[in-house]
């Protein structure tokens, strides 16, 4: 399976280069388990979900600790039929037998509850896309039910769901949505926007 994320980090400050470069060190503990490529628009992180989401969390938290308004935009995908299998993406989190939806929701809630705090509040909105399955709406409604019990659910919006809370719990919730809903070996994507230190937080 192939899994990865195209990410872009936007610090809202004249010193945006300094904030980005200062945050990049947060990826160092994950680099041996990721393939990373950067161009003038985004950075591609290729690796298993249990590495992708903590790496994105640590990068974003490091940038947000600057106190500046920071936004992370990410397109995350697994199982895309247009991408080749990559050994670096091997994961125990996906690809196994699909267990009943209620059991997956309960496991997702427990995983979020066990996540350590980062002491960095964030807001996020995201959309889940389950591709190529006849029961995709069951999976999406199951995910929404999990989100409402996750502890970071704020509200439903047009085309997406809004989350708010500690960055640890928010990124863990996104990871659980990505891994536990939709077929284990199927094509699933998330469209994510995460914000911290916004002057217009409501």
* Binding-site residue set for thiamine: 9, 43
In whole angstroms, give the CA distance from residue 142 to residue 127.
Answer: 14
Are 116 and 168 in contact, with CB atoms under 8 Å apart? yes
| Distance from the first to the final alpha carbon of the chain | 39
Are 73 and 60 in contact, with CB atoms under 8 Å apart? no
The DSSP element (H or E) to which 165 belongs, if any, is strand 160-166
Mutual angle of helices 167-180 and 49-64, in 10-degree steps: 160
In whole angstroms, give the CA distance from residue 50 to residue 183.
Answer: 17
Please state the residue numbers annotated as binding site: 9, 43
Are 176 and 166 in contact, with CB atoms under 8 Å apart? no
């Amino acid at each position: 399976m192939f899994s990865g994320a195209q990410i872009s980090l936007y610090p809202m400050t004249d010193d945006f280069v300094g904030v980005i470069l200062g945050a990049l060190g947060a990826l160092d503990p994950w680099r041996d388990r990721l393939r990373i490529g950067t161009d003038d628009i985004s950075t591609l992180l290729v690796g298993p979900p249990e590495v992708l989401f903590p790496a994105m969390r640590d990068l974003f938290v490091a940038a947000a600790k600057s106190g500046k308004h920071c936004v992370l935009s990410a397109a995350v995908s697994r199982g895309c039929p247009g991408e080749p299998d990559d050994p670096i993406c091997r994961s125990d989190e996906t690809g196994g037998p699909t267990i009943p939806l209620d059991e997956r929701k309960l496991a997702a809630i427990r995983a979020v509850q066990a996540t350590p705090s980062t002491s960095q509040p964030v807001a996020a909105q995201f959309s889940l896309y389950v591709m190529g399955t006849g029961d995709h709406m069951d999976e999406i409604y199951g995910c929404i039910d999990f989100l409402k019990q996750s502890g970071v659910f704020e509200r439903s919006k047009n085309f997406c769901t809004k989350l708010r809370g500690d960055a640890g719990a928010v990124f863990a919730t996104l990871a659980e949505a990505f891994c536990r809903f939709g077929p284990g070996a199927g094509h699933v994507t998330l469209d994510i926007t995460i914000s911290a230190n916004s002057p217009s937080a409501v």
